[in-house]
Amino acid sequence: MNQSDMTAKIRTGKGFIAALDQSGGSTPKALAGYGIADGSWSGDDEMYRLIHEMRSRIIRSAAFTGDKVIGAILFERTMDGKVDGKPTPQALIDKGIVPFLKVDLGLEAEDNGVQMMKPVPGLDALLDRAKGLGVFGTKERSVINSANEAGIAVLVAQQFQMAAQVTAKGMMPIIEPEVNIKSADRDACDHLLLAALSEELDQLPEGKQVMLKLSLPATAGLYDPLVIHPRVLKVVALSGGFSRDEACVELKKNPGMIASFSRALLSDLRADMSDDEFDAALATAIDEIATASTDKS
C-alpha cells in the first residue's frame, strides 16, 4: 500500500483501528492484563521485550487482518522491532493494515482542568524515521478532566500545532484530546471540545486533513459535525475505561465513528493460552468491535 492506498483504506475501510501503543507506565498494567505479573521481568528492556512478544502474537494471528482491522497504532519500540523477521510496520502493511505511531511522551500535570502533552524533542527526526519504515500517520494524546473553556482551547491549539508538524512531513496526524469519562461535567467537556475542534478545523488550509480520536460522547451523535467536516479524514473513538461491551454499545450510538480500542480489544487475551485459544479470543473481540464500528442499526 502506498500513501494514497492507505488514505483510501482509512476513509472507506470497513473496520476499526487497533491501539497497540501502551508505553511507559501503562506497560506493566497491559502485561498484567495479559497474565504476566509485575515483577516477572528484570528491567525495562525485559519488560519491553515481553510487550513486543504480546503484540507480535497479535499481529501474526490469523484473526488479525485488514478485513476488519484497517489500522494499528504502534509504540516507538514496537515500530523499531520485527515480526517474523519483518519490520513491524511492513508486517502490518503486508496484512492490509495501515500503521500509525504514537509520538507523544506523556502528560504534564493538570492545569486549568487539562493535561497538556509534554514537549517532544526530536519529533522531526522521529517522523522521518517512521515515514522511512512505511508508517502512515501519528497519534498524540492529551486529557481533559473538567469543563474549563480556556484550558480546553489551549490544549486543542497544542494538538493542532503538533499536527501541523506531522502534516509537513506528509503524514496523517490523529489528534487525541481525550475527555475523562469520569469527569463530573463530562457532557460540558464534550461540548466545549466540539467548539474548540471546529474552530481549529475551519482554519486548516485547503487540502489539509487530520484524524480525530475522541472519547465516546455523553450525548450520542454530538460529534456528527466532525464526522462530515471536510478537513477530517476519520473520527475514531477510544474506549476510555469502558469495558468492551459498554464501549461497543456506546459506539453503535454514534454513526460515522469507528473504534480505536486498546484495553477493550485485548482484555480477554492471556499469555498462557494455546494459539487456537488466543486466536479465537482475539477473533471474538475483533468481530464485536468491527460490528460496532460499521453496523449502527
Active site positions, annotated? 176, 213
**Cα-only R_g, the chain:** 18
Query: From its phi and psi, is residue 102 left (phi > 0), alpha (psi between -120 and 50) or beta?
Result: beta
Please give the Cα distance from 22 to 158 (Å, whole number).
22
Nearest to 18 by CA among 104, 80, 78: 78
- First vs last Cα of the chain: how many Å apart? 31
Please give the Cα distance from 140 to 178 (Å, whole number).
10
Position 66, amino acid: G
Query: From its phi and psi, is residue 44 left (phi > 0), alpha (psi between -120 and 50) or beta?
Result: alpha
Nearest to 55 by CA among 260, 266, 243: 266
Nearest to 177 by CA among 220, 130, 205, 211: 211
